[in-house]
Homo-oligomer: A and B are copies of this chain.
């Protein structure tokens, strides 16, 4: 008799194949789940392998559209970034994967959810917090945190031995000396040789971007059109994309071809460890810069200041830490959407050898930028004398400060 039914996030690799077989051996029935979030994958081969190993069923869901529209576009709308450099490519995908996996588990009457995340990383936290919010009645089996499992599988050799014993096919391609995770947003590289933070990633590591040195010798121009903060059209040469997924893929292609979006950082995982990660994120890097630039033209300065300080940093941290299905993410995201009501317009850009440049920007709908107002040569509608009053009032506090310093024998004019 089955111990129950498990919905296992299954990638077809050695780790999750081992988990699949181990769960079966333990007496569970297993439904394998694979999300299509735009990664490079032979989905049919994964399905075949799962069923051959004994999965009761295999389900693959294409989540690219919900990933792009529900989450990635929110990231663009708030210029999301973690610790000033990481565009959150992995973290953005986790909520839609977890939600889909829970839906599949519910459909197949599973009592358990399982995954192959390690016990030191962010992803276990992201998946499981999402699972618990999405359906608190489902239980989680996290083999890499089960004493019996980690005792048995102490290294790759133990996995290979188990594979041989259990007829798990093992890829003959040698494994890269680091681990990777990719989706429509980016590919991440970590662990293995990258654990030495002073070791430069080898040229062949990067999969989503051409090496800038090998990129075309001519810049490629393109434009990104926004409506209420959302990209609605990308144009380059004769190519025009207006569908959300298509335009995002077009940005990915431009970024890829010109080597834009590589980042190599040491970051702070949620559980308190520092970790080195490399990411190439071509399209989102371009979209983020375009959006940031357009906001300069059309967003009120004070709204922007509040949004930058309270919303962008907070939403980014929430996503990084797996707090997507939380009241606080909803609270913050409500502000993001509201802040974008006037963010419509076009940004013209060029990509060239690892970098992107803004060439110009315009907006039909906003009145905030005015050439006449900005012009140093025009005094139409502006009285410079007002500025004197403005400065004088601002200086009231500062004069007192300077006088107090003089009184205290520490004049500010002393360098």
Contact = CB atoms under 8 A, between A and B. Distances in A.
The complex is assembled from copies of this chain, and their number is: 4
A362 interface: yes
Interface residues of A, number: 138
A411 to B, nearest CB: 8
A45 to B, nearest CB: 25
A266 B361 contact: yes
Nearest to A126: B391
Contacts of A204: none
Interface string A161-183: 00000000000000000010000
A308 to B, nearest CB: 7
A308 B312 CA distance: 12
A300 to B, nearest CB: 4
B354 A397 contact: no
B357 A262 contact: yes
A273 interface: yes
Given A147-B385, A297-B274, A300-B327, A120 B376 contact: yes
Given A120-B384, A136-B399, A352-B353, A394 B129 contact: yes
A109 interface: no
Contacts of A212: 352-353, 355
Contacts of A305: 313, 317
Contact of A388 (B145, B196, B262): B145
Nearest to A352: B212
A391 B121 CA distance: 12
A106 B406 CA distance: 14
Contacts of A142: 388
A51 interface: no
Contact of A302 (B145, B328, B376): B328
A328 B352 contact: no
B309 A313 contact: yes
Contacts of A385: 119, 145, 147, 389
A199 B355 CA distance: 20
B412 A133 contact: yes
Nearest to A394: B129
Contacts of A390: 125, 271, 386, 389-390, 392-394
Contacts of A219: 213
Contact of A326 (B296, B323, B397): B397
Interface stretch (A24-32, A77-85, A240-248): A77-85
